[in-house]
Chain A
Amino acid sequence: MNRFMLFFNKTGSPPWFYRFSGRLLPWIWAVFMILSAAGLYLGLVKAPPDYLQGESVRIMYIHVPSAYMSMMIYALMAAMGFVGLVWHVRIAEILAISSAPIGAMFTALALISGSLWGRPTWGTYWVWDARLTSELVLLFLYLGVIGLYSAYDEPRKAARAAALLALVGLVNLPIIHYSVTWWNTLHQPPSLTSGGSSIDPSMLWPLLVMVVAWKFFYIANLLTRSRYRLLQQDQRKRWVSDALGGVNS
């Protein structure tokens, strides 16, 4: 067996995943708490107001990480769905479907915070421009994946159907990303690119800290949700009774 398949087999073992994630979770939550406290302090206290937007720029420390996470989680959900679809790795299926509510939450947060940022800066809560509309479509895709999964009684079939929809929906990610370049939009063009940043370091650092903090939130939340689905699916199996020998395990 090659090393790739060996890795899949080990991490794909439900008892191993349940034990390993249980040990990891407190540390990931701790890192998230520390990073988000640091990010909030830097963003709300240390960072200066913007010369044009004033204090409303502080919404950026919520909005930009949320929008970034909404797209990153979707890409990961589709990738894990693909692994589940092709190699029938059950943990990958569980990770994919457990990502959907977290991604939906970040997408909703990006839309809400963007709307609240838009009112003082653009003078409106909402416009049907390409960036905002494609982000709204992303929210509907997440809800579609969750809905489709819930429509099936058999979890393996449900995961396959949801993975297919997630893969089809991938087409929306480049549309969201390039919408501000391809079309004339009210939304500003990207400030952070692979070529550099147009944001001052005093504002860039809190932003980056918040992005990393929310990645840890995603990992911790994903593991917790996956552990729940695993317990739910395997509740009549021997390893679950063994693992619950102590109720707090």
Chain B
Amino acid sequence: MPHAPFIIATYAITAVLLTWCALAPVIQIRKLKQAILQRNKTMENENAPNA
């Protein structure tokens, strides 16, 4: 039985899982930061005295 397909599959699945696990929170943080900054901006505009 050739072993190469099993080795390649193991390393490929590892690469996919590790990349997903590493990138998912980074994307979440980026989205959350944008949402917080957007909300802060809206609140600043609402609180600003009318010129």
A62 with B22, Cβ < 8 A, contacts A232-B32, A241-B36, A244-B33 known? no
The CA of A247 and the CA of B37, in the complex, are separated in Å by 8
Residues of chain B contacted by A178 (CB below 8 angstroms): none
The CA of A238 and the CA of B34, in the complex, are separated in Å by 16
Tell me how many residue pairs across A and B have CB atoms closer than 8 Å: 76
Return the chain B residue nearest A223 by Cβ: B25
The CA of A129 and the CA of B20, in the complex, are separated in Å by 30
Q: Which of A54, A59, A109, A116 contacts B17 (CB 8 A)?
A: A109
A228 with B40, Cβ < 8 A, contacts A59-B7, A101-B21, A105-B21 known? no
Residues of chain B contacted by A55 (CB below 8 angstroms): 3-4, 7
Any B CB within 8 A of the CB of A131: no
Establish whether residues B14 and A116, one from each chain, have CB atoms under 8 Å apart when the complex forms: no
Establish whether residues B10 and A116, one from each chain, have CB atoms under 8 Å apart when the complex forms: yes
B6-41 contacts to A (CB < 8 Å): 6-7, 9-11, 13-14, 17-18, 21-22, 25-26, 28-29, 32-37, 40
Any A CB within 8 A of the CB of B1: yes
Establish whether residues A224 and B26, one from each chain, have CB atoms under 8 Å apart when the complex forms: yes
Chain B, interface SS category: helix
A103-162 contacts to B (CB < 8 Å): 105, 108-109, 112-113, 116-117, 119-120
Residues of chain A contacted by B11 (CB below 8 angstroms): 62
The CA of A62 and the CA of B22, in the complex, are separated in Å by 17
Residues of chain A contacted by B37 (CB below 8 angstroms): 244, 247
Establish whether residues B29 and A116, one from each chain, have CB atoms under 8 Å apart when the complex forms: no
Any B CB within 8 A of the CB of A187: no
Residues of chain B contacted by A59 (CB below 8 angstroms): 6-7, 10
Establish whether residues B14 and A62, one from each chain, have CB atoms under 8 Å apart when the complex forms: yes
Q: Which of B1, B9, B18, B36 contacts A235 (CB 8 A)?
A: B36
- B residues with CB within 8 A of A: 1, 3-4, 6-7, 9-11, 13-14, 17-18, 21-22, 25-26, 28-29, 32-37, 40
Which 3 pairs of residues, A with B, have the shortest CB-CB distance?
Answer: A56-B3, A55-B3, A225-B25
Task: Pick 7 A–B contacts, CB within 8 A, sort by A.
Answer: A62-B14, A101-B21, A105-B17, A113-B10, A224-B29, A228-B25, A228-B32
